[in-house]
Amino acid sequence: MSEEDLHFKGDFSSLWRLDVMPPIRRLSWWWWWALILIPDAENPGRSKQLMVLWSTKETPAIRVSGHWWKPGGRMFVDEDGGHVIPGMVCAWWFDGEKMFEPLVKRECRMASISDTHPLWPGEGKGEGAGAVVPLTDEDMSIGMAPGNKSFWINLSSDEEAISKGAPAKFKAELTPWWGPPSELTYRNNVYFLGMGYDILRLQATKCRLLVDGEVMEGTGYFQKVSVQAPSFPWFWGMLHFDDGSYLDWFMPHVTPMWSARDDEPWRLRDFFRTPNIGTGVFHDRKTGKTQNFNNCTVELSKQNSPDALKDEKGKPLPEFLVRVWNEDSSAKIRVRAVSRARWVFDQPTRASWVSHLTYNEYPLEVISINYEDSEGSRNESDYQWIHGNAEHAWGVLH
């Protein structure tokens, strides 16, 4: 395929719409989320990482990491499918040594339009081109270029983060990489009473990132999510490999940690998780095959090696031992966090109760990985680099 024909494949027609499912008060939550990973020459086992979130929620009020956000209005959808929403833009930046979190935590109204909207500059086909444009003095947008050839991301850091040494400006371009990881995947499920989820994602892209004008090359991950259900505890993680392979895991669970109401990372009661309903996927560039895993376990432990790392509060960072498997293949992954970004949510609910969710994101360093299938086995030495990120969330937001 020529460079001119290279584009993201899949049905992107709902990419800029949030009205796929009717909203449910306090439960509906929508976001566009991008993660960029840049190999770090000074710390070869690590990557610099940028996370950006454009989000809105159907709620009278929610506290986001100490900031009370009161939308003051509901989603408006015009006759051409354009959305105007109350929301927030949030971001963090890990430079390989220091975590700037929050890099951005900004309340604003946002417009979301596709290329068929009259406000779009030019005529479009409704096949994916469009943008989310926060209505701020600075350009904080994310969008898809015509022909689905690339995403752009523009971001300006908050003054407080800049005063602590964070870069001021970020500009990113995400372009297709190869095959399945750069093809859109779609998941939709409605459980009962309208509750469910709707998820679009691109698992691996190439990325060109400008950080205060400095050019960096790396990879990207993107997803657009609609959730209409209480948020329960989960583990999730992903890995990008230098050859274009992609692996992830997901394990929602019930745990005594679901009643935790603060962001302390370690508790004696964090010992039990059920049920075993985890999943995962491996897009193997070497064989061109995709393995869908229907089993997943995650073991969490404190780092205890001589070079164990801690967060900015002096709390030990975690290690994750992840196993995913199916009838034909299996992978055992041992990774450790090299930094921590946390987002703490408190939402008033019925009868004066306040529900809580702590959401952690961890830039990862791979300690070991062992993959086996019918064609043999591989480990971390078979790749020049492997970079990734893991999530761990506890509490229940409802």
The number of CA neighbours under 13 Å toward the Cβ of 68 is 5
Number of domains in the chain: 2
Assess whether 134 and 191 both reside in one domain. yes
Q: Which domain holds residue 189?
A: 1-229
pLDDT tens string 113-129:
999 999 998 888 889 99
Residue 230, helix vs strand vs coil = coil
Q: What's the whole-number mean pLDDT along residues 215-220?
A: 98
Assess whether 253 and 143 both reside in one domain. no
Contacts of 1 (CB under 8 A, 6+ apart): none
Assess whether 224 and 273 both reside in one domain. no
Assess whether 149 and 247 both reside in one domain. no
Give pLDDT, residue 242: 97
Q: Is the pLDDT of residue 333 over 90?
A: yes
Assess whether 52 and 40 both reside in one domain. yes
pLDDT tens string 131-168:
999 999 999 999 999 999 999 999 999 999 999 999 99
pLDDT tens string 66-111:
999 887 667 888 999 999 999 999 999 999 999 999 999 999 999 9
230 vs 296: which has the higher pLDDT: 296
What CATH code is carried by the domain that includes residue 12? 2.40.370.10
Assess whether 302 and 153 both reside in one domain. no
Assess whether 259 and 215 both reside in one domain. no
Q: Which one of 229, 252, 284 terminates a domain?
A: 229
Q: With beta carbons less than 8 A apart as the criterion, state whether 249 and 178 touch.
A: no
Least Cα distance to 144 among 14, 283, 2 occurs for 14
Which residues sit opposite 133 in a β-bridge?
111
Assess whether 207 and 246 both reside in one domain. no
Assess whether 159 and 242 both reside in one domain. no
Of the chain, the end-to-end C-alpha distance in Å amounts to: 47
Assess whether 96 and 184 both reside in one domain. yes
Assess whether 141 and 268 both reside in one domain. no
Assess whether 9 and 114 both reside in one domain. yes
What CATH code is carried by the domain that includes residue 331? 2.40.370
Q: Which one of 179, 194, 229 terminates a domain?
A: 229
**pTM assigned to the model:** 0.94
Q: Which one of 201, 229, 257 terminates a domain?
A: 229
Q: Is the pLDDT of residue 6 over 90?
A: no
- C-alpha 2/C-alpha 12 separation (Å) is 22
CA distances from 243 to 41, 205, 372, 387 (A): 18, 12, 17, 12
Give pLDDT, residue 192: 55
